[in-house]
């Protein structure tokens, strides 16, 4: 069977236009846009391009916030995004009339894209804002910075135990795990993930039984770091986050209290990627060279690429991808292309034929002309007869016995490949149904000239719950291998 499987299930994303609308209403980017429009010739910044402290209250008011410490913090954060994304441009620093260094501010070229750019332009702007938010999320905590300031007023970076690369890689790993959990559970509508489970996915080894006290302490520390980081990342629209309940914090070390058996897990933090967040994490994973499929990727490819591509997709994703592919083509030529791509004797061909049959069901009655053209084909004739019979078509010729058994082997081979060693209960019912309907099934099956015959018969021997029938299957598999010299 084919072993070429995608590393991740495909994600289903809204259209670029919908994502762009989400990006523009994300609080952080929306504030950055407002500050870019507020800034003018009198706006003063320091040598690093940051708003000087005296400007922060008026910047906060421009955002509709109180001119207090919280308002100033939000304004400063939004200003960094405005600068980093090119919504505003700060000229080279120069000494100002107050004796300090600063630069003049003017609107950046990116500001026009907010109202006049294509959805892809807005999304590129948002991705830049996301990078700034991620950098802020992985920066040292303010309290840690304060503790690292020595008596001479200098910052002792070595005492921080802060490695920017390590912090960034950890957060990237967390977001990748959250992405996988989301797409595995069905996409943007998946339920929020408890923060303890997400932290544990990064700390607890897969082969560990009961976590040690040391590992649990590491999980607790990771939870609290993630709590801070997700609070930073929610305003950019990456996640929807319910923070850790502060009442759970221990007074001494600010770690969460131990979770009781009946404890409401949501009090320990719940997080999920938004649709925009799925788009953002996928974009960063693609940039890192990962294979991260999305529904719609195959819509402009050939039928051979489509059938191979959706082979191991979940049913809903395979159906959605195929519908997008069909929407761009006329029915009869599309059906012919699908049938031609389904032929072959390679390991992946049975599953291609199964996906082809499922695709033809989406074409509907219009595919009948193309389907009838392959009734005499030894590889596609059985599939064609099943498809026509399911639609009550008239004048469907009866299949020869050899075609019946070939189709049975091909169908089981496809189902084995699709299951990939997972849930085989449905396949077990198929196997037992076939053997009960056809007396002497194995006497004929071992002679079937299909590349997967020995493997299918061996699998039937493993799956059938009747020991006598299972033994017959194993004997038939041996005969098949002996006949082919395998």
CA distance 374 to 360: 13
CA distance 339 to 371: 8
pLDDT tens figures, 15-52: 999 999 999 999 999 999 999 999 988 899 988 889 99
Spatial CB neighbours of 262, under 8 Å, sequence gap ≥ 6: none
pLDDT value at residue 422 = 62
* pLDDT greater than 70 at residue 101: no
* pLDDT greater than 60 at residue 77: yes
Give the pLDDT mean for 249-262. 51
* pLDDT greater than 90 at residue 350: yes
pLDDT value at residue 3 = 43
* pLDDT greater than 80 at residue 253: no
Give the pLDDT mean for 212-228. 90
- Spell out where 176-332 has E strands: 193-194, 239-242, 270-273
Instruction: Report the share of the chain in percent with pLDDT over 70.
Output: 86
pLDDT value at residue 145 = 45
Give the pLDDT mean for 320-330. 95
* pLDDT greater than 90 at residue 195: yes
pLDDT value at residue 93 = 59
* pLDDT greater than 50 at residue 146: no
pLDDT value at residue 51 = 92
**What band does 140 get if pLDDT is binned at 50, 70 and 90?**
confident
CA distance 180 to 10: 10
Cα-flanking dihedrals φ and ψ of residue 149, to 5°? -85, 120
pLDDT tens figures, 333-346: 999 999 999 999 99
pLDDT value at residue 251 = 44
Q: Of the given ranges (58-72, 189-203, 228-242, 255-269), which has the lowest mean pLDDT?
A: 255-269
Asked if residue 80 lies in contact with residue 132, where contact means CB atoms within 8 angstroms, the answer is yes
**What band does 175 get if pLDDT is binned at 50, 70 and 90?**
very high
pLDDT value at residue 102 = 56
* pLDDT greater than 70 at residue 141: no
Buried b (16+ CB within 10 A) or exposed e, 308-330: bbbbbbeeebbbbbbebbbeeee
* pLDDT greater than 70 at residue 263: no
What value does the mean pLDDT of the chain take? 87
**What band does 176 get if pLDDT is binned at 50, 70 and 90?**
very high
Asked if residue 413 lies in contact with residue 1, where contact means CB atoms within 8 angstroms, the answer is yes
pLDDT value at residue 19 = 98
* pLDDT greater than 50 at residue 252: no
Give the pLDDT mean for 156-184. 83
Domain ranges of the chain: 16-137, 164-287, 303-484
Handedness of CA 198, 201, 203, 208 (dihedral sign): positive
* pLDDT greater than 70 at residue 283: yes
Asked if residue 265 lies in contact with residue 170, where contact means CB atoms within 8 angstroms, the answer is no
* pLDDT greater than 50 at residue 11: yes
Alpha helix (H) residue ranges in 85-212: 113-116, 119-137, 142-147, 164-184, 195-203
Give the pLDDT mean for 285-312. 94
Asked if residue 244 lies in contact with residue 222, where contact means CB atoms within 8 angstroms, the answer is no
Residue 469 C-alpha from the chain's centroid: 43
| Unique residue bearing structure tokens 């070429």 | 4
pLDDT value at residue 164 = 82
**What band does 206 get if pLDDT is binned at 50, 70 and 90?**
confident
pLDDT value at residue 96 = 55
pLDDT value at residue 186 = 53
Q: What is the 3-state secondary structure (H, E, C) of 345-390?
A: CCCCHHHHHHHHHHHHHHHHHHHHHHHHCCCCCCCCHHHHHHHHHH
* pLDDT greater than 90 at residue 250: no
pLDDT tens figures, 384-440: 999 999 998 888 999 999 999 999 999 999 999 988 766 678 888 888 888 888 778
Q: Report pTM.
A: 0.82
* pLDDT greater than 90 at residue 143: no
């Amino acid at each position: 069977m084919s072993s070429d499987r995608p590393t991740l299930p495909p994600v289903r994303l809204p259209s670029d236009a919908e994502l762009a609308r989400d990006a523009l209403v994300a609080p952080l980017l929306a504030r950055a846009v407002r500050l870019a429009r507020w800034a003018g010739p009198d706006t003063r910044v320091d040598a690093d391009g940051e708003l000087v402290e005296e400007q922060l209250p008026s910047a906060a008011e421009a955002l509709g916030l109180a001119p207090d410490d919280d308002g100033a913090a939000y304004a400063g954060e939004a200003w960094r995004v405005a600068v980093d994304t090119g919504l505003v441009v700060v000229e080279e620093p120069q000494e100002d009339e107050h004796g300090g260094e600063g630069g003049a501010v003017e609107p950046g070229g990116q500001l026009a894209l907010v109202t006049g750019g294509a959805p892809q332009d807005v999304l590129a702007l948002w991705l830049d804002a996301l990078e700034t938010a991620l950098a802020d999320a992985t920066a040292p905590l303010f309290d840690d910075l304060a503790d690292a300031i020595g008596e001479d007023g200098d910052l002792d970076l070595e005492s921080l135990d802060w490695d920017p690369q390590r912090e960034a890689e950890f957060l990237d790993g967390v977001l990748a795990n959250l992405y996988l959990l989301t797409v595995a559970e069905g996409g943007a509508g998946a339920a929020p993930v408890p923060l303890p489970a997400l932290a544990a996915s990064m700390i607890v080894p897969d082969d560990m039984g009961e976590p040690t006290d040391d590992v649990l302490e590491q999980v607790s520390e990771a939870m609290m770091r993630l709590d801070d980081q997700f609070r930073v990342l929610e305003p950019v629209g990456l996640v929807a986050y319910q923070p850790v309940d502060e009442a759970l914090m221990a007074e001494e070390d600010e770690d969460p209290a131990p979770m009781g058996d009946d404890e409401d897990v949501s009090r320990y933090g719940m997080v999920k990627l938004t649709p925009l967040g799925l788009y953002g994490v996928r974009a960063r994973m693609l940039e890192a060279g990962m294979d991260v499929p999305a529904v719609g990727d195959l819509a402009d490819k050939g039928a051979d690429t489509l059938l191979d591509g959706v082979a191991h997709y979940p049913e809903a994703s395979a159906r959605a991808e195929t519908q997008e592919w069909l929407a761009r083509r006329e029915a009869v030529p599309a059906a012919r292309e699908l049938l031609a791509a389904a032929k072959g004797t390679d390991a992946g061909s049975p599953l291609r034929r199964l996906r082809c049959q499922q695709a033809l069901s989406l074409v509907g009655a219009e595919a009948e002309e193309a389907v009838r053209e392959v009734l005499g084909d030894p590889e596609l004739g059985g599939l064609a007869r099943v498809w026509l019979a399911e639609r009550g078509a008239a004048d469907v010729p009866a299949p020869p016995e050899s075609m019946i058994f070939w189709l049975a082997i091909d169908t089981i081979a496809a189902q084995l490949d699709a299951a990939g060693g997972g849930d085989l209960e449905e396949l077990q019912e198929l196997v037992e149904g076939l053997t009960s309907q056809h007396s002497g099934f194995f006497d004929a099956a071992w002679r079937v000239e299909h590349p997967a015959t020995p493997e299918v018969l061996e699998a039937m021997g493993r799956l059938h719950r009747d020991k006598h029938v299972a033994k017959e299957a194993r004997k038939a598999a041996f005969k098949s291998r002996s006949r082919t010299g395998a």
